[in-house]
Structure 1
């Protein structure tokens, strides 16, 4: 039987008036360092499976600072239902608010079929650090089918709209020399900060398989591929530290 669940977070300058777990998505307030309120997503059961419909919503109200991470990687697995699983992340960040969205990796296990969609709405003075990492297959296995889309709007204007597809259901060439070249870890780091309007980042390579790209707005995007999850995290962590 498929699972339909939506977990919700509302952060204000006074705390977390809404912290609502649902189904396999358990939310826990955890100890934080610095000015952020921290929430950790804990998997309460195996998910997403085929046919599941999961969502997380986070609303960071004006002036609030929220950091969200997860206790473990999310593993997309095949289920009894023949249809694909869907996982949506919906984020809103208000004026002078900050969100650090730093979950663990998403692993696309063999035989799985997952559609993941992340939609972010930012106020003009909002700040965002968002990391996404996809691991294509567990150790020694081929990946499942994975499609991800990241859409970000700032002050009502489109900042980024990017879609990626991997695995048996993806168009041919996704694993070729011009894309992954046999690598099985891919990730991106998005930074949105009004200060980048006056000091825009310069495009540059970060090692052999990562690049920094300034966006048409006060934002930058780091994209990377790697041989495994550990190598990918190292590249993105180094990029974040330098930024």
Structure 2
């Protein structure tokens, strides 16, 4: 199965003369289903704004399965704010005939725009064979909070093969690049340099131009969790744990150290 979905937001002025963010373009193709949603209160990590665009990604079918090829393209227009979340975790499964499944996510966040991307965990079930590519392009004044969580196999199950590549560029220059490969095809993936025997891995990348050249300093958050400043107005929070709930709590603990507006929002955001 092949599927492609796309999403574009823009900043506009409503009838009352207020600036609002709205979904300008929306295209879904099952099983990638994008749906505009409306929160009951201010969104986390958006400076308490209530006029942001909010979209949820839902799955219209199981998978990805071996042989599936999916693409998601997101553009956050200049001055707009988008909160993109997921309704449920993504379960990577083997196909009836084997084969490689692929998911490519391309994101552009223009100047003065904000993206808060809060996907649910990706679960690499036994015998899956999946490649995920995430490519993010930022402007000089773009703001970003991007969460990423992986669960290596279901309960009492070893994971299949998973390769994930994340690339984030700011004004065309590399800001963050990471590749992770786990599973039977990579015999050394259980080493302390990768998972250290843990089944759950997670990161949160925060890019905030208000930090200038002085992002929050490095710190150890807990056993298996730490926060690192990057070469730019950015911070990476990384955590390893035995389950996704603990990983999420460790990541939230890291966000809580970032100062306003991130810290107060982390306390208010759900941790599971």
Q: TM-score, normalised by structure 2?
A: 0.85
Q: Does residue 24 of structure 2 align to residue 22 of structure 1? A: no
CA shift at 1:180, angstroms?
2.1
What whole-Å deviation, never above 9, does each CA across 1:215-242 have from its counterpart, x for those lacking one? 1111111111101011011111222233
Question: What pairs up with 1:1-243 in 2 under 5 angstroms?
Answer: 3-14=1-12, 15-32=22-39, 33-34=41-42, 35=49, 36-170=52-186, 172-243=187-258
Q: Report which stretch shifted further, 28-37 or 83-92.
A: 28-37
Structure 2's unaligned 5+ residue stretches are 13-21, 43-48, 259-272
Q: Distance in 1 between matches of 2:101 and 2:160?
A: 12
Q: CA RMSD in A?
A: 1.2
Distance 1:161 1:27 in 2: 27
Q: Residues 167-226 of structure 1, C-alpha deviation per residue, up to 9 Å, x if partnerless?
A: 1122x3221244322210001110001122243221111111111111111111111110
Instruction: Note the C-alpha offset of 1:52.
Output: 0.5
**What CA distance in whole angstroms lies between the structure 1 residues aligned with 2:89 and 2:58?**
10
Return 5+ residue gaps in structure 1 as ranges. Answer: none
* 1:137-189 superposed Cα distances (whole Å, 9 cap, x missing partner): 0111111111101000001111111100111122x322124432221000111
Deviates more, 1:192-201 or 1:142-151: 192-201
TM-score, normalised via structure 1 length: 0.95
- Aligned residues of 2:221 and 2:253 also touching (Cα < 8 A): no
Q: Using the alignment, how far apart are the partners of 1:218 and 1:144 within structure 2?
A: 35
C-alpha contact (below 8 Å) 2:104/2:132 kept by paired residues: yes
Residues 150 and 202, structure 2, Cα contact 8 Å, conserved in 1: yes
Q: Distance in 1 between matches of 2:239 and 2:123?
A: 16
